[in-house]
Amino acid sequence: MANDVGNLYPVLRTARREDLPDLARFIQGYYRLESIPFDLYRVERGLVPLLGREDLGRIWLIDVNDAPVGYFILCFGYSIEKGGRDAMVDEFFIDATYRGRGIGRRVLEQVIVAARELGIVSVFLEVDRNNEAAQRLYAGAGFFLRDKYLLMAMDCI
C-alpha cells in the first residue's frame, strides 16, 4: 500500500546546536516550497535562542531509521481565552522523498502528546490556503478552521 509507512516510523529527537546544518538544510527546503526568502543569518538568529531555552518552545528533528528527514518547531505563548499556555506550530517540514507515507500524521500525534505533557492547552498553526494536502493532514489530526478570525502580523524589526 502506497501510504503505509511500514518501517518508516518517525522518531522526534530534540535538536541541539550541532544539528544546525541539518536544520538549515531542511528550513531552506521548506522556504523554497513556500516561496519564503531564505536568509541563513536570520534563520540562525531565530534558531539558536530556541535551541537553548526550553521555556520558549521545542525544536525536533524528525528521524526515520536513524536519519533526519525533517523538522518540527513548536513555540510557546499564553492565552487568557484558552486558559493557559498555548503553542504555535512555527514550522513543520518533511523531505519530499518521505511525504505522503503517513509520517506527517504520526509526527503530529507525537507532538500533540508532547504538548499535553508540557501543559499546553491549545495548539495553533498557519497553513497556506492552497496547500490542500497539509489542510487534510491537520484536519485529520483534529485541527479546525477558526474562520471567524483573521491572522494578522506586523514585523517589529
Domains and CATH numbers, the chain: 10-140 (3.40.630.30)
pTM over 0.85: yes
Instruction: Say if residue 3's pLDDT is above 70.
Output: no
The residue to which cell 534558531 is assigned: 47
pLDDT digits (tens, 9 = 90+) for 76-132: 999 999 999 999 999 999 999 999 999 999 999 999 999 999 999 999 999 999 999
pLDDT tens digits for 31-79? 999 999 999 999 999 999 999 899 999 999 999 999 999 999 999 999 9
Q: What is the dihedral of CA 55, 16, 26, 7, to 10 degrees?
A: -100
Cell of 107: 509526527
Question: How high is the pLDDT of residue 6?
Answer: 56
Tell me which residue of 36, 110, 124 sits closest to 70, measured CA to CA: 110
> b vs e for 84-107, b when ≥16 Cβ sit within 10 Å of the residue's Cβ?
eebbbbbbbbbbeebbebbbbbbb
